[in-house]
């Protein structure tokens, strides 16, 4: 049962100058500041509502809503007001703001605390600094296969780009294999037909003085996978007793691994320990929202507790020295768990997103939310603004590169390196921290 909203404050505002910061639920949820007359970004269909926003939570028309955080600059010279979850890793209330003339009304459906400051980003940063999270380690520089090859990546593609890094003198620390090496979601140790040896690729990467990285979506399971067929009891069930569908990003429904089941937890740990034993020490964990979806689990743990314990299993398996990047992750429940975090929806070779939904891939939505979450960088984790794409075919590549550079966070190249022209090579080298020759 949803909790009722309790009034928190009535705040005088200047309707022309006031700004409201909405914090979205997870990495891909639109987050940023709006004028009072703006219409905030909302999901354009039910699937995106589940996959990219807070599942089961709707927002009334004409209402601003932050998930665990909402800030208001009244615009009249008075201090910024911030309402924040009292214990953000355990309970994340929705916080609403509506405007009636020159008065903003704020309410929440759970416990929050109030803070004040001089501007929105500074106030949010001050709140984050007070959480006592350890200063994150600097991020390595990365080459990632995703934005050039997507799920069609091959082992030969990895080897080609590995050689090109030497030819072009690019200071890449980590070569990260993205989605496409595995046969199915959930069957992480079974290779697709495009790959011959995961350990062999890691050996080749390390032989060239670089680190091996790999992508997983650890909480998602393809219903056609061996895991789903052999261990249906390892999957989260919905309230009707069936599989919990997490979306259709691969063209079909997906199930969720129940990491509170002892055997499922042991399997998850074994996957990551195997990858470590093969030479991987950089891990991108994606589509993490699935681990925090409500459903019937083996234990009585609530969804957020199950999510944090699932990430804890991954960290235990990879060890403290491995680098862990989260993506598609519920933001506030992830505090203290990751080295780096994607703070925006996916970028893309194009600027505008699908159906004008700012949770969908595009440079515009990635810039909007990435800028809106800049306050998190260096306080909660290293911000990942998503990958640099510098090849000639990318729209407004100069503007996108400038955004990536301005964040000062994790820098990852995601081009077929031999397709770069002179500007692309020089920009990639500079943003990765090398000299322009």
Which residue of the set 178, 187, 286, 415 is catalytic? 286
The pair of three-digit structure tokens given for residue 253, joined into one six-digit string: 């429904």
Q: What are phi and psi of 61, to 5 degrees?
A: -55, 140
Q: How many CB atoms lie within 10 A of CB 424?
A: 22
How many residues are listed for the chain in this entry? 437
Beta strand 187-191 with 255-256 is unpaired
Query: CA-to-CA distance for 371 and 68, rounded, in angstroms?
Result: 19
Residue carrying structure tokens 């699935």: 290
User: Please, are residues 212 and 282 in contact by the beta-carbon 8 Å criterion?
Assistant: yes
Query: CA-to-CA distance for 152 and 350, rounded, in angstroms?
Result: 20
Longest dimension (CA), the chain: 66
Query: CA-to-CA distance for 242 and 331, rounded, in angstroms?
Result: 28
* Percentages of the chain per state (helix, strand, coil), in multiples of 5: 30, 25, 45
Which residue of the set 346, 357, 364, 386 is catalytic? 346
Asked about 187 being catalytic, the answer comes back as: no
Residue carrying structure tokens 């200071």: 171
Asked about 238 being catalytic, the answer comes back as: no
**DSSP label at 243?**
B
Q: E strands within 86-196?
A: 94-100, 103-108, 112-117, 142-144, 174-177, 182-184, 187-191
Residue carrying structure tokens 């100069």: 398
Query: CA-to-CA distance for 122 and 86, rounded, in angstroms?
Result: 19
Q: E strands within 132-267?
A: 142-144, 174-177, 182-184, 187-191, 211-216, 220-221, 255-256
- Which are the contacts of 230, defined by CB distance < 8 A and separation ≥ 6? none
Radius of gyration of the chain measured on its C-alpha atoms: 22
Beta strand 112-117 with 80-85 is antiparallel
The alpha carbon of residue 307 and the mean position of all alpha carbons in its chain are separated, in whole angstroms, by 14
Residue carrying structure tokens 């009034």: 7
- Provide the annotated active-site residues: 286, 346
């Amino acid at each position: 049962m949803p909790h009722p909203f309790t009034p928190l404050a009535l705040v005088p505002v200047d309707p022309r100058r006031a700004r409201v910061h909405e914090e979205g639920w997870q990495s891909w949820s639109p987050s940023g500041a709006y004028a009072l007359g703006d219409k905030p970004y909302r999901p354009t269909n039910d699937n995106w509502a589940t996959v990219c926003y807070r599942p089961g939570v709707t927002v009334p028309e004409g209402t601003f809503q932050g998930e665990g955080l909402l800030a208001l600059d009244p615009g009249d010279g008075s201090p910024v007001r911030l309402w924040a979850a009292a214990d953000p890793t355990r309970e994340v209330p929705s916080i609403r703001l509506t405007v009636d003339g020159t008065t903003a009304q704020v309410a929440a459906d759970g416990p929050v605390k109030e803070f004040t400051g001089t501007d929105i980003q500074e106030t949010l940063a001050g709140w984050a600094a007070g959480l006592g999270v350890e200063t994150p380690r600097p991020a390595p520089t990365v080459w990632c296969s995703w934005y050039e090859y997507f799920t069609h990546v091959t082992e030969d593609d990895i080897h080609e780009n590995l050689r090109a890094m030497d030819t072009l003198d690019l200071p890449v620390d980590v070569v990260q294999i993205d989605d496409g090496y595995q046969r199915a979601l959930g069957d992480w140790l079974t290779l697709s037909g495009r790959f011959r040896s995961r350990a062999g690729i890691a050996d080749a990467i390390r032989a060239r003085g670089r680190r091996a990285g790999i992508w997983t979506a650890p909480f998602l399971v393809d219903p056609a996978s061996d895991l789903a067929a052999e261990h249906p009891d390892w999957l989260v069930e919905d309230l009707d007793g069936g599989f919990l569908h997490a979306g259709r990003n691969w063209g079909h429904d997906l199930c969720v691994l129940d990491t509170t089941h002892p055997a499922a937890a042991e399997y998850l740990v074994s996957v990551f320990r195997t990858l470590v034993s093969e030479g991987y020490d950089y891990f991108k964990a994606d589509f993490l929202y699935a681990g925090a979806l409500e459903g019937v689990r083996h234990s009585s743990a609530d969804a957020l507790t199950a999510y944090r314990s699932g990430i804890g299993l991954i960290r235990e398996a990879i060890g403290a020295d491995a680098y862990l990047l989260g993506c598609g992750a519920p933001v506030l429940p992830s505090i203290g768990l990751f080295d780096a975090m994607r703070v925006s929806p996916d970028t893309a070779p194009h600027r505008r997103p699908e159906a004008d939904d700012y949770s969908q891939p595009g440079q515009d939505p990635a810039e909007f939310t990435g800028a809106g979450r800049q306050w998190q960088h260096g306080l909660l984790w290293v911000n990942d603004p998503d990958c640099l794409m510098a090849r000639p075919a990318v729209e407004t590549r100069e503007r996108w590169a400038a955004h990536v550079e301005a964040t000062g966070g994790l820098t990852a190249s995601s081009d077929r390196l031999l397709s770069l022209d002179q500007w692309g090579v020089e920009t990639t080298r500079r943003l990765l921290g090398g000299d322009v020759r």
